[in-house]
Each structure stands twice: as structure tokens, then as C-alpha cells.
């Protein structure tokens, strides 16, 4: 297999795992005591079936899982780009991801009811702050890519995917710890986290190979 073929294989692997993470959200993750099934993309409904306060980090992720898991795919496939046109297309995609994150934060703040419980309102504000911080980091990475900061951007994408995977697994663990004893998470609830970690691994191999090929191409020929 050629170097170009290997790079595309790892890129396809990244896309596959991200797609599987999204597909897992369609499956049933838990069932309420009344018999209503809660699918992954609607996992935020599980917040109403906890025996104690949900950890703020888990609250933020569970609330915005549907949006976050869908943003990993377009961002993941932009890693390892080097061409002038591809660089600006990938940078534009990253800017779009940052814009969506800001919109999610604004919607979160707008949905806070003046009659809402103080703890839930504070959790929503903290979630919005986390989304804005992630949006700023993504925007900085996009600017770096457009300015030929390839290594910085590639590392950001790998860290983003790995962070989402770890955040998912930790959030599901924290949710399961306070979930109604009559409810339990299915195996599908853990799949997106594992998929994001595998996507991060594929992306890491992709960018490492791309960096090596670029160094080899710029080395002077032997005299």
C-alpha cells in the first residue's frame, strides 16, 4: 500500500468510528420505570431520574451529548490536511464547529427559566461556559491551521477526540452512579466513548504518518 493509500485508510477509519458513535445514539440506552425507552440522543431526559445531584461535568455532557457527538465527525476528518485549498476548507469546517458550539451555549443560557432550581441553573451556566471555552479553543486551532500551523491543529483534533471519549465514559459512569436503581445503562451507552478513543488513535497514526512523509519530502537529496 502506498503512503497516500495508508493515509486514506486511517482517515476512513477515523470517519467510521465517529459515524458509529453517532449511530450508537440511536439505540436505547436506558428505560424509565414507567417503561419509556430513552435513546442515546435523548439521554438528557435521564437527568430527571437521578437519586441525587448529577456532577456538573456529567450534567454538561449529558445535556449536550447529541450536539457534541455530531460535531466530532466533521472535525475529525479535517486532521492531516496539507494542501492550500484543503487547509482553508478544513479551517472553515473548524470555524463552523466553533460557531455551533457558541450557538449551543447561547441556547443553554436562553433556556434557563427564572423559576428553575438554583442548582440546575448554575449547572446550565457552567455548561454554557464549558461550551464557549471549547468553541474558543476550536477557533484558535482553525486560525492556526489557516496560518500553516499544521502540527498544532493535528494535535488539537487528536486531543479533542480523546477528550470526548474520556468525557463520555466518565459522564456515563457518573450518571450510572446516581441513576434510579430501577434503571440501568445498556452497553450502547458506552459505545460512543470507545469509538471516540479509537477515532483518536486512527487520527494520531494518520497525523504521525503525514508529518513523517512531509519531513522526508523536505530533506535534501544526498550529494
Task: State the distance between the two ends of the chain, measured CA to CA, in whole angstroms.
Answer: 29
pLDDT computed for residue 221 by the predictor: 40
User: Can you tell me the distance from the alpha carbon of 27 to that of 125, in angstroms, rounded to the nearest whole number?
Assistant: 29
Q: Specify the DSSP class assigned to residue 194.
A: H
pLDDT computed for residue 222 by the predictor: 47
Beta bridge partners of 28: 39
Phi, psi dihedral angles at 50 (to 5 degrees): -110, 150
pLDDT computed for residue 213 by the predictor: 55
pTM over cut 0.85? yes
pLDDT computed for residue 2 by the predictor: 57
With CA atoms as reference, report the closest residue to 29 among 221, 148, 161, 193. 193
> Low-confidence residues of the chain, pLDDT below 50?
216-217, 221-223
User: Can you tell me the distance from the alpha carbon of 90 to that of 81, in angstroms, rounded to the nearest whole number?
Assistant: 7
30 contacts 38 by C-beta, under 8 angstroms: yes
With CA atoms as reference, report the closest residue to 54 among 139, 126, 152. 126
If phi > 0 it is left, if psi is from -120 to 50 it is alpha, else beta; for residue 35 that is left
User: Can you tell me the distance from the alpha carbon of 220 to that of 70, in angstroms, rounded to the nearest whole number?
Assistant: 43
User: Can you tell me the distance from the alpha carbon of 113 to that of 130, in angstroms, rounded to the nearest whole number?
Assistant: 20
Interhelix angle 118-146/150-178, nearest 10 degrees: 160
User: Can you tell me the distance from the alpha carbon of 50 to that of 43, in angstroms, rounded to the nearest whole number?
Assistant: 12
88 contacts 146 by C-beta, under 8 angstroms: yes
Phi, psi dihedral angles at 112 (to 5 degrees): -70, 120
Amino acid at each position: 500500500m502506498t503512503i497516500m493509500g495508508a493515509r486514506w485508510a486511517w482517515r476512513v477509519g477515523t470517519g467510521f468510528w465517529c459515524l458509529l458513535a453517532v449511530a450508537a445514539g440511536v439505540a436505547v440506552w436506558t428505560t424509565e420505570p414507567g417503561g419509556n425507552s430513552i435513546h442515546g440522543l435523548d439521554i438528557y431526559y435521564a437527568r430527571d431520574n437521578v437519586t441525587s445531584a448529577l456532577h456538573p461535568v456529567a450534567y454538561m455532557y449529558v445535556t449536550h451529548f447529541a450536539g457534541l457527538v455530531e460535531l466530532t465527525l466533521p472535525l475529525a476528518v479535517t486532521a492531516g490536511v496539507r494542501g492550500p485549498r484543503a487547509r482553508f476548507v478544513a479551517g472553515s469546517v473548524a470555524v463552523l464547529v466553533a460557531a455551533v458550539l457558541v450557538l449551543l451555549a447561547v441556547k443553554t443560557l436562553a433556556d434557563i427559566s427564572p423559576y428553575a432550581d438554583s442548582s440546575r441553573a448554575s449547572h446550565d451556566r457552567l455548561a454554557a461556559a464549558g461550551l464557549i471555552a471549547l468553541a474558543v479553543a476550536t477557533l484558535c486551532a482553525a486560525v492556526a491551521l489557516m496560518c500553516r500551523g499544521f502540527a498544532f491543529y493535528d494535535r488539537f483534533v487528536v486531543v479533542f477526540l480523546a477528550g470526548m471519549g474520556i468525557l463520555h465514559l466518565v459522564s456515563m459512569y457518573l450518571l450510572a452512579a446516581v441513576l434510579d436503581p430501577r434503571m440501568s445503562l445498556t452497553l450502547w451507552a458506552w459505545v460512543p466513548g470507545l469509538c471516540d478513543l479509537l477515532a483518536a488513535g486512527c487520527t494520531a497514526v494518520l497525523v504521525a504518518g503525514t508529518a513523517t512523509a512531509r519531513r522526508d519530502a523536505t530533506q535534501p537529496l544526498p550529494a
